[in-house]
Amino acid sequence: MKLAAITFSPQGIRICEQLRQTITDLDLYVHEALPTPRGAISFARVMELTPEIFTKYEGLIYVAPCGLVVRSLATSVQSKLSDPAIIVVDVGGRAVVSLLSGHEGGANNLAVQVANLIDAEPIISTTTEAIKDLVVGIGCRKGKPESEIIHALEEVLTSEKLSLLRVRYLATADVKAAETGLLKAAATLDIPLRIISSDRIQNCQQSFAHSPFVQQQVNLPAVAEPAALLAGWRTSLIVQRKACNGITIAVAQENCLSLASDQVTH
C-alpha cells in the first residue's frame, strides 16, 4: 500500500518519524513553517496539497485536526470504490480515526495498523464493525501455526456459544506481534489484530489471572486476558483464559455495545 503522511506540527513530525521506522515506504509531507526532516517534502497549503496527492497514494495519514482534513478533502472525494484510505491521527498520538474509504479502501485496517505502531486507539465507525462487541485475546507459544490458532479460537467460541461474527478484534501483546501464525490467522479470518504494549499490560488496572509461566517466558503477568481487556472499550472479561495445546484464548465484551450486539446473529 503506497502511503503518505501529512502534518503541520512538531508533535506530528515525531509521530510520523515513529511510523517511518516501520513503514519504510512512507512519503512524508511537512508544512513549510517547520524544519523539514530528511527525505520529507515541504508544502505551503494543505488545501492545495490534498488534491495534488489524492490520487497518487492508496492511503493518506494526516496527523492534524479532523476538521481541517475534511475541508481539504472536499473537492477530491469521488467514490468509496476508488478514493484512497484516509485516516487522521491526533497530535497527541491518542486516537487514529478511520475517516474515509473505511472498508472498501482499507482505512479501517490502516487505522488499526497505525494504532498498533504508536500504541493508540483505533476509531472505526463503519456500521458492520461498530456493532461487533467481542475482543478475543490470544497468547501462544512461539511458532504455533495458523491452523492451530484458528482451531483453538473457534473451539472456545463454540463451547461458549459465541459467534465469530461478533468478534471485532483479535488482540495480543507486543512480544507476540511478529508471530507468523497469529498474523496469518488474523488475515484468514479477516479480523484486525490489535497489538497491546507490554507497558499497558504491566499497568492494567482491570482484574485478570496472572500466569507464572508467562511471567517467566515473556516477563508479563499474562497475555490473552489483559490483551482482550485493553484492546476494547469498557470491556469486561466474559471468558477467562482457556489453554489449548500451547495457545491461550480469552474473550472480553465491550459492554457499551450490549444492545447493538443483538443485531448480530448469535
The predicted-structure confidence for 20-34, as pLDDT tens digits, reads as follows: 999 989 999 999 999
The predicted-structure confidence for 66-111, as pLDDT tens digits, reads as follows: 999 999 999 999 998 899 999 999 999 999 999 999 988 999 999 9
Give dist(CA 224, CA 208) in Å, integer: 9
Is residue 259 scored above 60 in pLDDT? no
The predicted-structure confidence for 124-159, as pLDDT tens digits, reads as follows: 999 888 899 999 999 999 999 999 999 999 999 999
What is the CATH class of 3-128? alpha beta
Give dist(CA 1, CA 262) in Å, integer: 35
C-alpha cell at 240: 477467562
Is residue 261 scored above 70 in pLDDT? no
169 in helix, strand or coil? Answer: strand
Q: Could you give the residue ranges of the DSSP H alpha helices within 21-106?
A: 46-53, 66-73
Q: Which residues contact 34 (CB under 8 A, 6 or more apart)?
A: 8, 9, 10, 13
Question: What's the chain's length in residues?
Answer: 266
Give dist(CA 85, CA 12) in Å, integer: 19
C-alpha cell at 36: 523539514
**pLDDT at position 98:** 97
Is residue 265 scored above 80 in pLDDT? no
C-alpha cell at 228: 482482550
Q: Name the band, by pLDDT with cuts 50, 70 and 90, for residue 256.
A: low
Which strand ranges, in their side-by-side order, compose the sheet holding 134-140? 193-196, 167-173, 134-140, 247-254, 235-243
What average pLDDT score do residues 223-243 get?
Answer: 95
For the entire predicted model, the pTM comes to 0.91
What is the CATH class of 131-263? alpha beta
Q: Which residues contact 76 (CB under 8 A, 6 or more apart)?
A: 50, 51, 54, 83
The overall longest dimension of the chain from CA atoms, in Å, is 58
Q: Could you give the residue ranges of the DSSP H alpha helices within 93-178?
A: 107-118, 127-130, 146-159
Give dist(CA 266, CA 259) in Å, integer: 13
CA pseudo-torsion sign 91, 68, 8, 123? positive
Q: What are phi and psi for residue 133, nearest 5 degrees?
A: -135, 10
Give dist(CA 96, CA 161) in Å, integer: 32
The predicted-structure confidence for 156-190, as pLDDT tens digits, reads as follows: 999 999 999 999 999 999 999 999 999 999 999 99
Is residue 264 scored above 60 in pLDDT? no
Q: Which residues pair with 5 in a beta bridge?
A: 28, 61
**How does the average pLDDT of the chain come out, rounded?**
93
What average pLDDT score do residues 210-234 get?
Answer: 92
Asked if 188 and 150 count as a contact pair (C-beta separation under 8 A), the reply is yes
Give dist(CA 92, CA 50) in Å, integer: 22
- Which residue ranges make up each domain of the chain? 3-128, 131-263
Give dist(CA 87, CA 161) in Å, integer: 35
